[in-house]
Chain A
Amino acid sequence: MRTFGMPEFWFILEAAKWTLALSAIAILFGGLGGLVVALSRVSPLAWVRGVATAFVQVFQGTPLLLQLFLIFFGAPVLGLDINPWVAAGVALSLNTAAFLGEIWRGCIQAIPRGQWEAAEALNLSYASRMKDVVLPQAWKIAVPPTVGYLVQVIKGTSLAAIIGFTEITRAGQIVNNATFQPLLVFSVVAVIYFVMCWPLSLLAGRMERRLSAALSR
């Protein structure tokens, strides 16, 4: 049996790059998907709103772990070749799209009705109304909660450990199995996550306070 030393610590710390890579994928594709979801949720077309609502309902109403299982264990049954990378990337992106989409929908709808009406009165097209009037304003309110949500994305990647993807949590499990020093190992794992997430939480909190001070003026 090994004891927990520097090599074990580096092994866990190195796995942090896979956590970050997976988070980056989820944020990138989830962000793009989230924009589509947000715009669809405020679309003038009823069927577009319906589809987007159903998507959000399903991905916010079921556990992320099951979404991961469904893709990882389900896809091979359909004859699709899938590895933990793809499964985790797809599940996390879809989940992120649903949550960011809802956050951003709230920001879009927070723009006063008069702004929409003014843009309509100016005979702007729907695309221009969105692009030139609503989204630039919604963007400002959207930044703090979006930064806050990044913390949820990073924490969510830990579930990929369950399907055998070697990120921080899985690396911790592996080291724990070799050293059997769970208190130390999982403390180290927790601290690494904390170091990644806490600055984001602080940043989001500070931006939120600054924004609410600016809005109440």
Chain B
Amino acid sequence: MHYTFQFADVFAAWPLLLKGTWTTLQLSFLAMLFGLVVAVLCAWGKTAGPKPLRWLINAYIELIRNTPFLVQLFFFFFALPAIGLRWSPYTAALTALVVNLGAYAAEIIRAGIESIPKGQIEAGLALNLKRWEIFRFVIIKPALRAIYPALTSQFILLMLSSAVVSVISADDLTSVAANLQSQTFRSFEIYIVVAGIYLLLSLAFSAFFKLVFNATLNYPDRK
């Protein structure tokens, strides 16, 4: 069969696509921000908290990392309203993304904290530094540097997996694409264009993360 590509309908819908892209970016950014807060708290609780708390945090992390994001999304969108917690698709999507990223990033951050040699912290104590000073001057920078690649690729994965929230029509880029698809039937063209937008977004994210790394954490290694 001969097929002619017609991108006119897709490009005519550019304001919708732009709006969808904006929602995807907004969702990703907010999920990164809140997810990071959850992750830091969990990493801290898991390394320094009392036993029951550690156990609880561990259960959360393992549960999230070993079930699909789609099921987590369904849980937040369908199951919680059934017990009285009603919220919009956008809020449910954001919550699911935050809970998901929190678990992955907590493990990454914990690995970063544990990568600091004990001797460094002891040296800080010997210099009579206070605990927060040790954290501020000894731990944070090398720990961040160690986990930076893993953490930033997790952010990009989060942005890409946010496409799944289109299933509950959270108005993100993929939701827009699905709507356009059912109106124009130009599925191939639409999904190619939208995949292209995601590709550009992830390239832009990784370029941005590299820039930030070079400006803040790029110093020579001492071996």
Contact = CB atoms under 8 A, between A and B. Distances in A.
A6 interface: no
Interface string B89-119: 0000000000000000000000000000000
Interface string A49-79: 0000000011011111111011001100111
Interface stretch (B31-39, B77-85, B124-132): B77-85
A201 interface: yes
A182 B82 contact: yes
Interface stretch (A124-132, A135-143, A169-177): A169-177
Nearest to A19: B68
Nearest to B199: A61
Contact of B163 (A66, A155, A172): A66
A46 interface: no
Given A63-B164, A65-B163, A77-B3, A194 B191 contact: no
Contacts, number: 128
Interface residues of B, number: 40
Given A62-B199, A65-B166, A194 B187 contact: no
A201 B79 contact: no
Contact of B3 (A78, A180, A194): A78
Contact of B198 (A63, A181, A193): A63
B71 interface: yes
Interface in B163-177: 163-164, 166-167, 174, 177
A189 B68 CA distance: 10
A74 B68 CA distance: 25
Given A62-B199, A182-B74, A70 B160 contact: no
A115 B59 CA distance: 43
Contacts of A172: 71, 74
A58 B200 CA distance: 10
B98 to A, nearest CB: 17
B67 interface: yes
B174 A183 contact: no
A126 B23 CA distance: 49
A79 B34 CA distance: 45
Given A65-B163, A78-B1, A189-B71, A73 B63 contact: no
Nearest to A184: B79
A158 interface: yes
B216 interface: no
A181 to B, nearest CB: 8
B161 interface: yes
A173 B71 CA distance: 10
Contacts of B74: 169, 172-173, 182, 186, 189
A110 B113 CA distance: 24
B181 interface: yes
Contact of A198 (B62, B71, B178): B62
Contacts of B198: 61-63, 66
Given A78-B1, A186-B75, A186-B79, A151 B66 contact: yes
B181 A73 contact: yes
Interface string A167-207: 00100110010001111011101100110011001000000
Interface of B: 1, 3, 62-63, 65-72, 74-75, 78-80, 82-83, 160-164, 166-167, 174, 177-178, 181, 187-188, 191-192, 194-195, 198-199, 202-203
